[in-house]
Amino acid sequence: MGQIIANTIKQSITELVGHTPLLALNQYTKELQLEAEIIAKLEYFNPANSVKDRIAKAMIEDAEARGVLTKDKTIIETTSGNTGIGLAAIAAAKGYKLRIYMQDGVSEERTKVVKAYGTEVVPFSDVPEMVAAFEETDGDFVETIKVFRETVVDKEDNVVFLNQLDNEANPNIHERTTGPEIWADTAGQIDIFVAAIGTGGTISGVGAYLKSKNPAIQIIGVEPAINSIATVEQPDIIEITGVHRFSDAQEARVPSNVHLDRIDEVLEVETEEAYKAARTVAQTDGVLVGTSSGAALFVATTLAKRPENKGKRIVVLFPDTGLRYLSTDLF
């Protein structure tokens, strides 16, 4: 009688979130003649193709566990794209209604993908109070969310606002999954971890876990340089979508999920530098990633060039797929 094979058929895409692979960027490091090892955590292997699938699942299941989220309620969230896509996929799989308030100016693919899952999409520009707040604060996302809560969330019944900026399920899931995955897959052989700072959940959660295993591991944040941030006066500046600058921000404008005390250093990246890195790794290693990944790779490359990092292992997190940027100038 033949051997009985265990049934490994998954019953929901929620079971596919996490356990993404690490890939050594051997051809990239060879091409640039780097003397440190760069390994990428490929988060586009998540079912909806980004690191945000992790927090989408975590925030929804946390709301379920607390009894806040029930089938008669609509989930709402504000996003520049990937969180909305992750939520749309998980909400569809779990049978929840979802409404996403999407930041204006994001790539066309983001809106189309969210709608493909059956999710309602509302542009920020459809909420005049948010537009005013965005302009008055020169594009500050934290202040704009406060206005969103007052003008939308508090005025509607039967909605659940997940609020990724302040939701503890965000960094917690990275401390429970992303960090342990990196530690296990490297057998603890990691010197530096690099990630872009968006809501702060990824770097704060992974940083907390890795530091708990080895305090000597350097946690390096990535933020946009001043010249790569759009303003009311210069709205046409091309930004690094989903990556925010907090190192010199007022404390009131730093989301609670950005734990700067867990970050050893923050390095700046211009959008064009992020573009160049993303284009290069696509051609050297066949890894097609987005602008935020390019930004993180640029910083990892900068670190790899430092004499003190010769022979060290740098793990850099790539948040999403380059397929989400084909309508932009990235490629």
Q: What is the CATH number of the domain that holds 114?
A: 3.40.50.1100
Mean pLDDT of 280-309: 98
Tell me which of 93-97, 197-201, 228-232 is least confident: 228-232
Q: In this structure, is residue 171 part of a structural domain?
A: no
Does residue 7 lie in a domain region?
no
33 with 63, same domain?
no
pTM: 0.94
User: For 230-270, how does the pLDDT look when each residue is reduced to its tens digit (9 = 90+)?
Assistant: 877 788 889 998 898 988 888 888 888 999 899 999 999 99
Query: In whole angstroms, what is the distance from residue 229 CA to residue 121 CA?
Result: 25
- Tell me which of 161, 185, 200 is where a domain ends: 161
Please provide the DSSP assignment of 199-225 as one string: SSHHHHHHHHHHHHH-TTSEEEEEEE-
Considering the domain architecture, whether residues 68 and 132 belong to the same structural domain is answered as yes
Question: CB atoms < 10 A from the CB of 208, how many?
Answer: 17
- 135 lies in the same domain as 119: yes
Has residue 317 got a pLDDT over 80? yes
Please report where in the chains the tokens 């390019």 appear, as a residue. 294
Report if residue 151 sits inside a domain: yes
Same domain, 240 and 204: yes
Active site (annotated) includes residue 52: yes
- Domain end call among 109, 129, 161: 161
In a shared domain, residues 55 and 41: no
Are both 202 and 319 inside the same structural domain?
Answer: yes
Domain-embedded: residue 172: no
CA distances from 48 to 45, 72, 88, 92, 172 (A): 8, 25, 9, 12, 20
Looking at the predicted structure, is the pLDDT value of residue 279 above 90? Answer: yes
Active site (annotated) includes residue 292: yes
User: Of these residues, 52, 57, 94, 312, which one is catalytic?
Assistant: 52
- Give the span between the Cα atoms of 314 and 304, in whole angstroms: 8
Kindly give the interhelix angle for 82-94 and 108-116, rounded to the nearest 10 degrees: 10
Q: What residue numbers bound the domain in which 65 lies? A: 51-161
Percentage of the chain modeled with pLDDT above 90: 77
Q: What is the pLDDT of residue 5?
A: 67
107, 292, 293, 312: the active-site residue: 292
145, 195: one domain: no
pLDDT value, residue 4: 65
> pLDDT tens-digit profile of 97-149?
999 998 887 778 889 999 999 999 998 888 888 888 877 877 677 888 888 89
One-letter amino acid at 331 equals: F
Instruction: Kindly state whether residues 94 and 151 are assigned to the same domain.
Output: yes
pLDDT digits (tens, 9 = 90+) for 158-191: 999 999 999 999 999 999 999 999 999 999 999 9
The whole-angstrom separation of Cα 267 and Cα 284 is 24
Q: Are residues 184 and 318 in the same domain?
A: yes
Cβ atoms of residues 24 and 39 within 8 Å: yes
Parallel, antiparallel, or unpaired for β 159-161 and 74-79?
A: parallel
Mark whether 231 and 316 lie in a shared domain. yes
Q: Domain total for the chain?
A: 2
> Is residue 2 in some structural domain?
no
Domain end, chosen from 161, 187, 208, is at 161
Tell me: do 124 and 154 sit in the same domain.
yes
